[in-house]
Chains A and B, each alone.
Chain A
Amino acid sequence: MKIQKPAKAGTMESNDIYIMVQPNDEGGVILNLESIVMTQFGNQIKTVIMETLKELGVEDAVVTAKDRGALDYTIRARIETAVKRGM
Chain B
Amino acid sequence: MERLRRTMLFMPGNNPSMLQNAGILGADSVILDLEDAVSLTEKDSARILVRNAIKSVNFYNSEVVVRINPLGTEFGYEDLDVIGRVKPDAIMVPKATEADIKSVSEKLDKIEEEEGFEKGSIKLFALIESAYGLENVYSILQSSDRIIGMLLGAEDLTADLGIKRTREGEEIFYARSRVATACKACKVAAIDTPFADMEDMEGFIKDITRAKSLGMTGKAAINPRQIDTIHGVYAPTEAEIRYAQRVMEAQEEAKREGKGVFSLDGKMVDAPIIARAQTTLNTARLAGLI
Q: Which residues of A contact B (CB under 8 A)?
A: 9-10, 13-16, 70-74, 76-78, 80-81, 84-85
Q: Does B44 lie within 8 Å of A74, measured CB to CB?
A: no
Those of B97-119 within 8 Å (CB) of chain A:
none
Q: Does A77 lie within 8 Å of B52, measured CB to CB?
A: yes
Please, how many residues of chain B have a CB less than 8 angstroms from a CB on the other chain?
A: 14
- Whole-angstrom distance between the Cβ of B56 and the nearest chain A Cβ: 4
Contacts known (A81-B44, A81-B45, A84-B44); A14 close to B17, Cβ less than 8 A: yes
Q: Does B45 lie within 8 Å of A73, measured CB to CB?
A: no
- CB-CB under 8 A from B44, the residues of chain A are 81, 84-85
Q: Does B17 lie within 8 Å of A73, measured CB to CB?
A: no
- CB-CB under 8 A from B45, the residues of chain A are 9-10, 77-78, 81
- CB-CB under 8 A from A77, the residues of chain B are 45, 48-49, 51-52
Q: List 20 A-B contacts (CB under 8 A).
A: A9-B45, A13-B17, A14-B17, A15-B16, A16-B17, A71-B16, A71-B56, A73-B49, A73-B52, A73-B56, A76-B52, A77-B45, A77-B51, A77-B52, A78-B49, A80-B48, A81-B44, A81-B45, A81-B48, A85-B44
A87 to B48, CA, bound (A): 16
A15 to B16, CA, bound (A): 6
Interface centre among A9, A10, A77, A78 (most CB of B within 10 A): A77
- CB-CB under 8 A from B17, the residues of chain A are 13-16
Contact of B16 among A70, A81, A85 (CB under 8 A): A70
Q: Does B55 contact A (CB under 8 A)?
A: yes
Interface centre among B20, B44, B52, B57 (most CB of A within 10 A): B52
Q: Does B53 contact A (CB under 8 A)?
A: yes
Contact with A along B1-19 (1 / 0, CB 8 A): 0000000000000011100
- CB-CB under 8 A from B16, the residues of chain A are 15-16, 70-71, 73-74
- Whole-angstrom distance between the Cβ of B255 and the nearest chain A Cβ: 55
